[in-house]
Amino acid sequence: MIKSKAAIAWGPGQPLSIEEVDVMPPQAGEVLVRIVATGVCHTDAFTLSGEDPEGIFPAILGHEGGGVVEQVGEGVTSVAVGDHVVPLYTPECGECKFCKSGKTNLCQKIRETQGKGLMPDGTTRFYKDGEPIFHYMGCSTFSEYTVLPEIALAKVNKEAPLDEVCLLGCGVTTGMGAVMNTAKVEEGATVAVFGLGGVGLSAIIGAAMAKADRIIAIDINESKFDLARKLGATDCINPKDYEKSIQEVIVELTDGGVDYSFECIGNVHTMRSALECCHKGWGESVIIGVAGAGQEIATRPFQLVTGRVWKGSAFGGVKGRSELPGYVDRYMAGEFSLDDFITHRMPLESINEAFDLMHEGKSIRTVIEY
């Protein structure tokens, strides 16, 4: 058992509390990882708010990390002490029905226990004064030391700075992957991106890499527009500037609608707008944003009858173990930059400030450094 500094979420809506926790040794098939850095994603805030139907407390949140393998449990063969790894909330076992289907990245091997905040054997590795603390999304990167199943670790290039590529553990891969894998945006396409946080801006990078002709960026916070333009947005729109619905505005701007749209907010109303701004006959809308408990999407079925397609994407459709290392290599080769995303860096002790900055719309990503 080792001691670890961690940010504990004791209950919904409460600030995180920095405390020392006990971390149990990795069991068979598990790995102890020292987290070097972690991003703060909107989904952490979503769960902390109490809106997540799977939210469970007390827990150690965080799922956008980079770290180093400290110790391996019995039978672990694919990673070794000293390896650099990115934790995966979407693991890849390679043998479940989902992995074998070739149709999805949503490995289900450990999904049930992961959703209950537990390791695959149904127990936790975190304790505070003898009381169990739950894991989160199988990652819990808001702890200096965390335990993950071997199948939930992507081994990445040791040259890659962990305090940058941690962002590939969620937001950046999600946005780029949704464009390149889920939608498969092609050269010359017209694209709309709703929400210009870490995920939406990454979708813009993906659309620019795919050589989309027109990239329309939508946000109610205009301070995001400069970076959106720098990354490739051709038009930046604030829905509040119009009397008409944003879907009407976009349909008029684009001679009938966009080929692809991406909802990167988590708001069921903008999900509808994102679908309805798509071109009749072929436009595809991808839901990336995560909506709160009990919320539902709506549209006229006629929107789908007339050829628009509604899809969703988790972790950009990326298979973590086999494909994420390639994203890290592409980053190292200079194909895209992460500098612009890291607006703030701070120690774990200041993590509540990172949540405040996100809620105030002042950050893209804060990286917590241990």
Site residues, Zn ion (CB under 5 A): 41, 43, 93, 96, 99, 107, 109, 170
Query: Is residue 263 involved in binding ligand AHE (CB under 6 A)?
Result: no
53 makes contact with ligand AHE (CB under 6 A): yes
The one of ligand AHE, ligand NAD, Zn ion, none whose footprint includes residue 53, by CB under 5 to 8 A per kind, is ligand AHE
Closer residue to ligand NAD in complex, CB, 29/197? 197
Q: Is 196 in the site for ligand NAD (CB under 6 A)?
A: yes
Active site residues: 41-43, 63-64, 93, 96, 99, 107, 111, 170, 365
Binding ligand NAD by CB under 6 A: which of 96, 220, 236, 253? 220
Q: How far is the CB of 46 from ligand AHE (least distance, A)?
A: 7
Candidates 41-49, 52-60, 100-108, 209-217: pick the segment binding ligand NAD (CB under 6 A). Answer: 41-49
Q: Are 7 and 146 in contact (CB under 8 A)?
A: no
The only residue of 26, 65, 66, 195 in contact with ligand NAD, by rule CB under 6 A: 195
CA distance 274 to 285: 6
Buried/exposed code over 304-341 (b: 16+ C-beta within 10 A; e: otherwise): eeeebebbebbbbbbbbbebbbebbeebeeeebebeeb
Q: Does 54 bind ligand AHE (CB under 6 A)?
A: yes
Tokens for 23? 């971390």
Nearest Cα residue to 370 out of 35, 82, 56: 35
CA quadruple 201, 206, 211, 213: dihedral sign: negative
Q: Any contact of residue 346 with ligand NAD (CB under 6 A)?
A: no
Contact (Cβ atoms closer than 8 angstroms) between residue 274 and residue 245: no
Q: How far is Cα 284 from Cα 187, in angstroms, rounded to an integer?
A: 15
Measured from the CB atom, the residue of 125 and 272 that comes closer to ligand NAD is: 272
Check binding of 236 to ligand AHE (CB under 6 A): no
Neighbouring-strand partners of residue 278: 258
Stretch 245-264: interaction string toward ligand NAD, x if CB under 6 A: -------------------x
Q: Which of 21, 45, 25 is nearest to 351 (CA)?
A: 45
* Contact status, residue 223 vs residue 230, Cβ threshold 8 Å: no
CB 134, min distance to ligand AHE, A: 13
d(CA 190, CA 201): 16
H helix or E strand, kind and range, residue 251: helix 246-253
Residue 99 interacts with, from ligand NAD, Zn ion, ligand AHE, none (CB under 5-8 Å by kind): Zn ion
Contact partners, residue 193, CB within 8 Å, separation at least 6: 200, 203, 204, 207, 215, 216, 217, 218, 228, 233, 261, 262, 264
Return the number of the residue (120 or 171) whose C-beta is nearest ligand NAD: 171
199 scored as a contact of ligand NAD (CB under 6 A): yes
Token readout for 355 is: 């949540």
In the bound state with ligand NAD, the residue whose beta carbon lies nearer, of 43 and 143, is 43
DSSP 8-state class, residue 185:
-
For ligand AHE, the binding residue among 43, 181, 190, 366 (CB under 6 A) is 43
Q: Shortest distance, CB of residue 287 to ligand AHE, whole angstroms?
A: 10
Q: Does 182 bind ligand NAD (CB under 6 A)?
A: no
90 binds ligand AHE (CB under 6 A): yes
Residues that bind ligand AHE (CB under 6 A): 41, 43, 52-54, 90, 106, 111, 170, 290, 314-315
